A and B are shown apart, each in its own frame.
Chain A
Amino acid sequence: MDGSSMSEMGSILAMQGFAGISLFSVLLLMALGLAIIFGQMGVINMAHGEFMAIGAYTTYLCSHLVETYMPGFQSYYFFFAVAAAFGVAFGFGYLVELGLIRFLYKRPLDTLLATWGLSLILQQVLRSTFGAREVSPVMPEWLLGSMHVTETIEIPINGLMVMGLTVFVTLGVFLLLHRSRWGLRVRATVQNRAMSGAVGINTGRVDRVTFALGCGIAGIAGAAFTTIASTGPTSGSLYIVDTFLVVVFGGAGSLLGTVASAFSIGETQSILEFFLNGSMAKVITLLAIVGILMMRPEGLVVSKVRR
């Protein structure tokens, strides 16, 4: 780059590396909830983006309440807002499973339509409740701005926060699925529903909690995104395509695949954006994904399940 010295080039390179990892963690956080719902349960949940929006609006409500009633609490409320976002989205997901999804497990294509309809309804409900304009939760001062690592390297603090949250949630999901009794029951139900029922697992309950958990994680993702992007009735629909892309490309059913896929998409995109431009980066990334999926229809990591 003309006009920059070598050390500045180095700083830009470091910040660019961070930009790639930051995009990776955003994609991963979005995809985790869907990896559980779509990957484990096989439910095509088109309303996933709206669960993120619910999380985002919960954060907004929290910030509003704190601002009105406990201004002194402003600096720390965000962690509670994230927990609230999880809780609200979890509860709502639980109800949706109970009222809608559980009747459609044997009809996957109908779930697609039903959840898409649900997403339209939710968008309009959000619009009628909060108004069509985008809203912005008041962020604690420490979350804004950047950290000066050196004179020229500046790292966004909200990016770091999203990254931390992603690591935390990913580890949590991994431990839950692979190291807990509950995870064992989920995996058993996914592999063979009839047999799981026969050995005494309440499969209906497992489904309900699994779906709700996926939605709850979407809520956390939504809360995290309000710090770096927008909160509007339709902002969920901005993310839904990328989310499915990550899960399908990674290989449905594999947590490791989701991580690998988010990493490769994030890095490819941010490197291409740096050397080309935004629209071209998107086109080339998508073309590459299509090409790879043609060669590996199962995605990056194939989970070995006997059918």
Chain B
Amino acid sequence: MRNNRSEVRFNSKMRKSIVALALLVYGTLSASLASYAAGPPTAQVNTTGLAVTDDAVTVGILHSVTGTMAISEAGSVEAEKLAIDQINEMGGVLGRKIKIIEEDGASDWPTFAEKSKKLLEKDKVASVMGCWTSASRKAVLPVFEKNNGLLYYPTFYEGLEQSKNVFYTGQEATQQILAGLNWIAQEKKAKTFYLIGSDYIWPRTSNKIARKHIENVLKGTVVGEEYYPLGHTNFGSLINKIKSKKPDVIYSIVVGGSNVAWYKQLKAAGITSDKWNLLTISVTEDEVKGIGGENVDGFYSMMKYFQSLDIDNNKKFVAAFKKKWGADSVIGDVTQAAYLGPWLWKAAVEKAGSFDVDKVVAASPGIELTTAPEGYVKIHANHHLWSKARVGKWKKDGQAEVIYTSELIEPNPFPAGYQ
């Protein structure tokens, strides 16, 4: 880390002299300069003073490496580093190697804001891959908007946001929830739903959308809607309530350590997939590693990506990921979305022919990624991705069998009729 920083300081000095030199030479000898670097000259691709030199460009990675959220964010950091390594092997972006400055948000939202300020104002990074929780994203948003920075945010989230300075590589609520609910209503003839969540913004907003969809579109009934504090580990009473209401579907958005307790206790109380349907939007391969596959056996998750996805893009991605981070590593939905960030940025920079944030943002809508592990994504004008929704059925070994794949769904972060 320290090495990186001094390197950047050195580079920024070097950059200034090189920019001056380049400007001098550019007018007279532009042809001979082209042989200097593989890409176009720095003065041309960087007019706003970002950390770009003739042979390198610096980006930031901002996740929690310590604290409670480290559990979830570790995978995203790994995926982003893998993507950047692969891009560098292919020759970098506009002929420039990507250098990384990594900062730790430490699961603390003010720290995220402070670190993003440092990355943008002091390090002048060309883009940032980072944040996981909505709270951390909300904390850094004003910093990115003030400094005109560029953030690639990987997590599936509640929607209701759109910023010029952010690209959302995960799915917003409607992309994740609606397709799954339609599927279970049709497949399992489900009419009654019990909604359960941890008590904060994402589960509450997502359940609000789910309730509207169940009541207005599916013409079903919500027989219960409940929230438990983060870190709650005793679900005995809730389980009894569920047994007394006998819903067709238990629809769960429990997160973190609570998640593990919740599924272990469901199994212990005899709520298993042979008699009950459970559908969740908060369990990926990462969580199952902690919960234990035998405790979620036969339950359903709604995601856009599962590690077991049987397409060539994904097989290559999984093999590369395991080669770099160990054969034991598991890849969840967000990890895959985090992997898309650097690639989408690269594509946009190359289309724009510039690292300037305004030009990259303008070039982004319409960019397609046919090499995405999840198959195919396209950036929408609202900065979210077109993507498919999938339903996975969990198996004892901690992997999911993909049993349903939707059409490509248009992102709609401000869904009418769902507020």
Q: Is the CB of B199 within 8 A of A146?
A: no
Q: Is the CB of B74 within 8 A of A230?
A: no
B37 within 8 A of A: no
Q: Is the CB of B264 within 8 A of A158?
A: yes
Q: Is the CB of A227 within 8 A of B264?
A: yes
Which A206-257 residues have a C-beta within 8 angstroms of B?
Answer: 225, 227-235, 238-239
**Cβ-neighbour of A274 out of B199, B240, B264, B286 (below 8 A):** B240
By a CB distance below 8 angstroms, the chain B residues around A234 are 67-68, 257
**Cβ-neighbour of B74 out of A16, A18, A132, A274 (below 8 A):** A132
Q: Is the CB of B68 within 8 A of A1?
A: no
Known pairs A3-B245, A127-B66, A144-B294; A134 contacts B260 (CB<8 A): yes
- DSSP majority for the A interface? helix
Partner-binding segment picked from B212-220, B228-236, B305-313: B228-236
Q: How far is the CA of A233 from the CA of B64 in the complex (A)?
A: 14
Q: How far is the CA of A19 from the CA of B238 in the complex (A)?
A: 10
Partner-binding segment picked from B40-48, B53-61, B145-153, B266-274: B266-274
A124 within 8 A of B: yes
Q: How far is the CA of A131 from the CA of B287 in the complex (A)?
A: 14
Q: How far is the CA of A238 from the CA of B255 in the complex (A)?
A: 14
Q: Is the CB of A18 within 8 A of B236?
A: yes
Q: Is the CB of A229 within 8 A of B226?
A: no
Known pairs A12-B243, A134-B260, A274-B240; A228 contacts B70 (CB<8 A): no
Q: Interface digits, A1-45 against B, CB 8 Å rule (1 contact, 0 not)? A: 101100011001001101110110010000000000000000000
Q: How far is the CA of A8 from the CA of B241 in the complex (A)?
A: 12
**Cβ-neighbour of B240 out of A16, A146, A148 (below 8 A):** A16
Q: Is the CB of A282 within 8 A of B238?
A: no
Q: Is the CB of B233 within 8 A of A228?
A: yes
* Chain A residue at smallest Cβ distance from B288: A136
By a CB distance below 8 angstroms, the chain A residues around B128 are none
Q: Interface digits, B243-270 against A, CB 8 Å rule (1 contact, 0 not)? A: 1111000000000011111001101111
A91 within 8 A of B: no
Q: Is the CB of B269 within 8 A of A278?
A: no
By a CB distance below 8 angstroms, the chain B residues around A18 are 236
Q: Interface digits, B345-380 against A, CB 8 Å rule (1 contact, 0 not)? A: 000000000000000000000000000000000000
Q: Is the CB of A278 within 8 A of B246?
A: no
Which A63-78 residues have a C-beta within 8 angstroms of B?
Answer: none
Q: Is the CB of A1 within 8 A of B229?
A: no
Query: Shortest distance in angstroms between A286's beta carbon and chain B's nearest beta carbon?
Result: 11
Q: Is the CB of B232 within 8 A of A133?
A: no
Q: Is the CB of A145 within 8 A of B240?
A: no
Q: Is the CB of B237 within 8 A of A26?
A: no
* Chain B residue at smallest Cβ distance from A278: B228
Query: Shortest distance in angstroms between B64's beta carbon and chain A's nearest beta carbon?
Result: 9
Q: Interface digits, A270-294 against B, CB 8 Å rule (1 contact, 0 not)? A: 1101100111011000000000000
A96 within 8 A of B: no
Q: Is the CB of A238 within 8 A of B231?
A: yes
**Cβ-neighbour of A145 out of B68, B267, B289 (below 8 A):** B267
User: Which interface class (under 10, 10 to 19, 20 to 34, 35 or more) fits B?
Assistant: 35 or more
User: Which interface class (under 10, 10 to 19, 20 to 34, 35 or more) fits A?
Assistant: 35 or more
By a CB distance below 8 angstroms, the chain A residues around B237 are 16, 19-20, 270-271, 273-274, 281
By a CB distance below 8 angstroms, the chain A residues around B239 are 19
* Chain A residue at smallest Cβ distance from B239: A19
A97 within 8 A of B: no
Query: Shortest distance in angstroms between B72's beta carbon and chain A's nearest beta carbon?
Result: 8
By a CB distance below 8 angstroms, the chain B residues around A8 are 244
A154 within 8 A of B: yes
Query: Shortest distance in angstroms between A113's beta carbon and chain B's nearest beta carbon?
Result: 20
By a CB distance below 8 angstroms, the chain A residues around B295 are 144
Known pairs A16-B237, A279-B199; A133 contacts B289 (CB<8 A): yes
Q: Is the CB of A136 within 8 A of B236?
A: no
Known pairs A26-B234, A228-B264, A274-B240; A136 contacts B227 (CB<8 A): no
Q: Is the CB of A154 within 8 A of B269?
A: yes
Q: Is the CB of A270 within 8 A of B289?
A: no
**Cβ-neighbour of B290 out of A1, A135, A157, A159 (below 8 A):** A135
Q: Is the CB of B227 within 8 A of A228?
A: no
A156 within 8 A of B: yes
B100 within 8 A of A: no
By a CB distance below 8 angstroms, the chain B residues around A228 are 233, 261, 264-265, 268
B71 within 8 A of A: yes
By a CB distance below 8 angstroms, the chain A residues around B229 are 278-279, 282
Q: Is the CB of B70 within 8 A of A229?
A: no
Q: How far is the CA of A18 from the CA of B70 in the complex (A)?
A: 35
By a CB distance below 8 angstroms, the chain A residues around B66 are 124, 127
By a CB distance below 8 angstroms, the chain A residues around B268 are 144-146, 156-159, 228
Which B267-299 residues have a C-beta within 8 angstroms of A?
Answer: 267-270, 286-287, 289-292, 294-295
By a CB distance below 8 angstroms, the chain A residues around B241 are 274
Query: Shortest distance in angstroms between A189's beta carbon and chain B's nearest beta carbon?
Result: 35
Most buried by A among B71, B199, B226, B295: B71
Q: Is the CB of A235 within 8 A of B70?
A: no
By a CB distance below 8 angstroms, the chain A residues around B290 are 133-136, 230-232
By a CB distance below 8 angstroms, the chain B residues around A146 are 268-270
Q: Is the CB of B233 within 8 A of A238?
A: yes
Q: Which 5 A-B pairs have the closest CB atoms?
A: A134-B290, A19-B236, A278-B228, A230-B260, A156-B268
Known: A15-B236, A134-B287, A228-B265. 11 other contacts (CB 8 A): A1-B244, A15-B269, A144-B268, A146-B269, A154-B269, A159-B268, A229-B260, A230-B258, A269-B234, A270-B234, A282-B232
29 A-B contacts, Cβ less than 8 Å apart? A1-B244, A12-B243, A15-B236, A15-B243, A16-B237, A19-B234, A23-B236, A124-B66, A133-B71, A133-B290, A134-B287, A135-B290, A138-B292, A144-B267, A146-B269, A148-B270, A225-B233, A227-B264, A228-B265, A229-B261, A232-B71, A232-B260, A234-B68, A234-B257, A270-B236, A277-B226, A278-B227, A278-B229, A279-B228
